[in-house]
Amino acid sequence: MTTYRIAPSLLSADFARLGEEVRDVVEAGADWIHFDVMDNHYVPNLTFGPMVCQALRQHTTAPIDVHLMVQPVDALAQAFCKAGADIVTFHPEASAHVDRTLQLIKAEGKQCGLVFNPATPLSVLEWTLDKIDVVLLMSVNPGFGGQSFIAHTLRKCEQARRLIEQSGRDIRLEVDGGIKVDNIRRVADAGADTFVAGSAIFGQPSYRAVIDAMRAELAR
C-alpha cells in the first residue's frame, strides 16, 4: 500500500512568524516541511537562506525538504545540509556536474533528489536513479507560489513512476505546484506519492481541515 506524504510549502506561509507556522502545520498533520530556496538568478524571486533553515530546525522534528532553485548549486547544497535539511533536491540544468552534486549531498548524510521543470525531459534519470531518493516534478514554472497546475505533468508523472518501478529502488515521487484538494487524487493516480501544497494550506482558516480533506481524497 502506498504511503502518501503531504509537504506544505513555506513559500505561502506568513514569513513574519515562520516558526509558529511550521509548528502549526505539523500539528495539523503535515509529514514534511517543503522549503523553497530561490536566488533571484536561476528563478526570478528571492526567498530563504541556510540561516532560516537552521532557525526552523529548532521548531520541528519533521523532515525539512529543501528545494534549491539556485545556480550554482554545490555550496548552498552543502550549507543547507549543515543547517539541518533532511532532503536536498536541485535542478539538473543548474548544476555543472550533476553526479558530483549528488555525491556532495550524500556525503553530508542527507537524502538527495532531482527536480524537473515542466518542459525539462527526464532523460538524466537514466544515469542517476541509482543515486537519488526523490524525484520532484514541477507542475508549475518555478519562481512563484499560487500558480495553476500544468496538466501535462500527469503524463510526466506516469513516465517517472515507470522509471522508478523499473529501477526497483525506494524513491519518492513528489509533485509541486497547484496541488489542491480537488486534484490531489488525479496526481496520485498518475503515480505521485508526495505532494507539495502552498496556498491550498497556508492562509486557510484551518490547516487541519485542508490536510484531512487531502488525505480523504487520497484514501478514496
Give the pLDDT band (50/70/90) at residue 149: very high
User: In one letter, which amino acid is 186?
Assistant: R
pLDDT of residue 109: 98
pLDDT digits (tens, 9 = 90+) for 14-64: 999 999 999 999 999 999 999 999 999 999 999 999 999 999 999 999 999
Give the pLDDT band (50/70/90) at residue 148: confident
E strands, 57-197, are 64-69, 87-90, 111-116, 134-138, 172-176, 194-197
E strands, 83-145, are 87-90, 111-116, 134-138
Feature table: binding site for a divalent metal cation: 34, 36, 67, 176
Q: What angle do CA 113, 46, 72 make, to 5 degrees?
A: 45
Q: Of the listed 65, 133, 176, 193, which one is catalytic?
A: 176
pLDDT digits (tens, 9 = 90+) for 83-98: 999 999 999 999 999 9
Q: Of the listed 36, 39, 65, 86, which one is catalytic?
A: 36
- pTM, two decimals, is 0.97
Feature table: binding site: 9, 34, 36, 67, 143-146, 176-178, 198-199
Q: Residue 179, by phi and psi: left (phi above 0), alpha (psi -120 to 50) or beta?
A: beta
Feature table: binding site for substrate: 9, 67, 143-146, 176-178, 198-199
Please, what is the average pLDDT of the chain? 96
CA distances from 71 to 42, 97, 148, 206 (A): 6, 12, 25, 36
147, pLDDT greater than 90: no
Give the pLDDT band (50/70/90) at residue 153: very high
Q: Using an 8 Å Cβ cutoff, are 101 and 74 in contact?
A: yes
Q: What counts of helices (H) and strands (E) characterise the chain?
A: 7, 8
Q: 67: closest CA among 198, 199, 200, 213?
A: 198
176 is catalytic: yes
Domains, the chain, ordered by start: 5-218 (3.20.20.70)
170 is catalytic: no
Give mean pLDDT, residues 198-206.
95
